[in-house]
């Protein structure tokens, strides 16, 4: 007997509650090259982002207040400088496309005074008046309302470099910790105002902190508990106040932190790179199924990128067979689909989710 069809919002929230919806919820993220090829495949305009999500059957949407203040950082020759946060990137081309690579790290050698004076956006400079209308427009979908991932390690790394950022956490460097706190204070407040402006129409918060390499943890559990967990607990408490779940994005081997996630109130984990240590679907489902919901598992470095259409279908079907029973699974790539992914494989990936991701 086929289940009664659900709206995207109902479908996602059912999965987030570790129950079985009518079919697995579906999400999408991609680099510009494959994104453009998919739009061409479906006969869509290059800027028709919503049209592509509808063509793929994506159940998720994001809503946030746009920044309406002045640019805070000037552009530089041969660089792109983020106008709000001051990250520097340079354009790097490769065989299958191109990307913006973080560089220069302008706060690498900064002391507390320089970090304190680094221009950052004010929560007052966002236009919250547009949040409610956007929520109405996407009302049938599951709406993410986070102002940003948080992402202490990566985002500090964009300004201080990864080596210095990790040293900061291990040595309790006050300049690095101040940088993390300044950003988190802004993001928590912007998120709070987004939630207030949405008037109950935001369904979850999507945060993120990359905690692992492919082989194991990037930091110790003690360092996580000292510096990462308390700062994210503020987001968890905010979500609890608005009675909505949190999904946490973590690249690499990160299941070592999942018991702490559960204690913090995090209900969904994202990315779930199956190649990384203790991140295989079988391991995650057996150890955390029913206590956490899962979003991801479809590797962007596996058959979708390097296999045939048949390989892609078999791989996606196998992941569905492992993760679907009992509910609590959302079908999504482990990260943005990469430009080396053949268009036909990505199309097959989503067709497989729709064909084999239904509950009977």
**Average pLDDT, integer, range 275-294:** 98
What is the structure's pLDDT at 324? Answer: 98
Residue 69 confidence (pLDDT): 97
State yes or no: pLDDT of 238 exceeds 60.
yes
With a threshold of 0.75, does the pTM exceed it? yes
Computed over every residue of the chain, the mean pLDDT equals 96
Q: How many helices (H) and strands (E) does the chain have?
A: 15, 10
Please state the rounded mean pLDDT for residues 141-147. 90
In this predicted model, what pLDDT tens digit does every residue of 152-171 receive, in sequence order? 999 999 999 999 999 999 99
3-state SS, residue 325? coil
Both tokens assigned to 327 = 């509910």
- At residue 149, the pLDDT reads 74
Q: How far apart are CA 221 and CA 211, in angstroms?
A: 10
Q: How distant is the alpha carbon of residue 174 from its chain centre?
A: 28
Provide the pairing of β-strand 60-62 with 142-144: parallel
Strands 88-94 and 80-81: antiparallel
25 close to 7: Cβ distance less than 8 angstroms:
no
As a whole number of angstroms, the distance between CA 63 and CA 288 comes to 29
- For 326, the token pair is 């009992």
Give percent of the chain above pLDDT 90.
Answer: 96
Note the pLDDT tens digit of each residue in 172-230. Answer: 999 999 999 999 999 999 999 999 999 999 999 999 999 999 999 999 999 999 999 99
Tell me phi and psi for residue 103, to 5 degrees: -155, 175
d(CA 323, CA 317): 10
Q: How is residue 70 written in tokens? A: 């002045």
Asked if 142 and 206 count as a contact pair (C-beta separation under 8 A), the reply is no
Question: If you average pLDDT over residues 245-263, what whole number do you get?
Answer: 97
Beta-carbon contacts of 33 under 8 Å, excluding residues fewer than 6 positions away, are 96, 97, 98, 339
Q: What is the pLDDT of residue 33?
A: 94
Residue 347 has pLDDT above 70, yes or no: yes
- 126 touches 142 (CB < 8 A): no
The three-state (H, E, C) secondary structure of 280-310, written as one string = CHHHHHHHHECCEEEEEEECCCCHHHHCCHH
- Give the up-direction half-sphere exposure of residue 218: CA atoms within 13 A in the CB hemisphere: 23
Residue range 245-261: mean pLDDT, rounded: 97
Answer yes or no: is pLDDT of 10 > 70: yes
Strands of the chain, DSSP E: 60-62, 80-81, 88-94, 97-103, 142-144, 205-208, 246-250, 268-271, 293-298, 329-333
- pLDDT score at 306: 97
First CA to last CA distance, the chain? 6
Of 266, 263, 214, nearest in space to 239 by CA: 266
- Identify the H or E element spanning 320: helix 309-323
The label of the residue with tokens 């982002």 reads 49
Domains of the chain and any CATH numbers: 8-68+123-356 (3.20.20.210)
Q: Is the confidence at residue 1, as pLDDT, over 60?
A: no
Listed in sequence order, the residues at least 6 apart from 34 whose beta carbon sits closer than 8 Å to its beta carbon are 337, 338, 339, 341, 343, 346
Tell whether the model's pLDDT for residue 147 goes beyond 70: no
Per-residue pLDDT at 360:
87
Beta pairing partners, 126: 67
């Amino acid at each position: 007997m086929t289940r009664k069809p659900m709206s995207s919002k109902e479908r996602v929230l059912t999965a987030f509650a570790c129950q079985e919806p009518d079919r697995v919820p579906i999400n999408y993220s991609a680099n510009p090259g494959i994104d453009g090829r998919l739009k061409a495949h479906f006969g869509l305009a290059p800027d028709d982002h919503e049209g592509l999500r509808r063509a793929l059957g994506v159940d998720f949407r994001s809503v946030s207040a746009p920044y309406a203040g002045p640019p805070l950082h000037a552009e530089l020759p041969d660089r792109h400088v983020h106008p709000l946060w001051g990250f520097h990137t340079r354009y790097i081309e490769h065989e299958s496309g191109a990307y913006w690579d973080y560089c220069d790290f302008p706060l690498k050698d900064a002391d507390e005074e320089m970090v304190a004076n680094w221009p950052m956006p004010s929560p007052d400079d966002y236009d919250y008046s547009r949040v409610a209308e956007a929520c109405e427009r996407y009302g049938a979908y599951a709406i993410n309302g986070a102002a940003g991932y948080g992402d202490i390690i990566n985002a500090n790394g964009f300004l201080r470099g990864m080596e210095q950022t990790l040293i900061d956490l291990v040595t309790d460097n006050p300049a690095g910790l101040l940088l993390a706190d300044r950003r988190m204070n802004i993001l928590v407040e912007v998120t709070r105002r987004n939630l207030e402006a949405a008037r109950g129409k935001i369904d979850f918060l999507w945060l993120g902190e990359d905690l692992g390499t492919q082989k194991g943890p990037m930091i110790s559990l003690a360092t996580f508990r000292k510096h990462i967990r308390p700062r994210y607990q503020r987001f968890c408490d905010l979500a609890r106040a608005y009675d909505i779940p949190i999904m946490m994005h973590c690249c690499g081997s990160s299941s070592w932190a999942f018991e702490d996630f559960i204690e913090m109130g995090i209900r969904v984990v994202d990315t779930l790179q199956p190649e990384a240590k203790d991140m295989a679907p079988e391991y995650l489902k057996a150890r955390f199924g029913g206590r956490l919901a899962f979003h991801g598992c479809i590797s962007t470095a596996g058959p979708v990128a390097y296999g045939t259409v048949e390989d892609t279908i078999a791989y996606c079907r196998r992941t569905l067979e492992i993760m679907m029973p009992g509910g609590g699974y959302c079908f999504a790539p482990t990260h943005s689909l990469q430009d080396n992914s053949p268009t036909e494989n990505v199309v097959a990936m989503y067709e497989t989710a729709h064909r084999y991701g239904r509950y009977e």
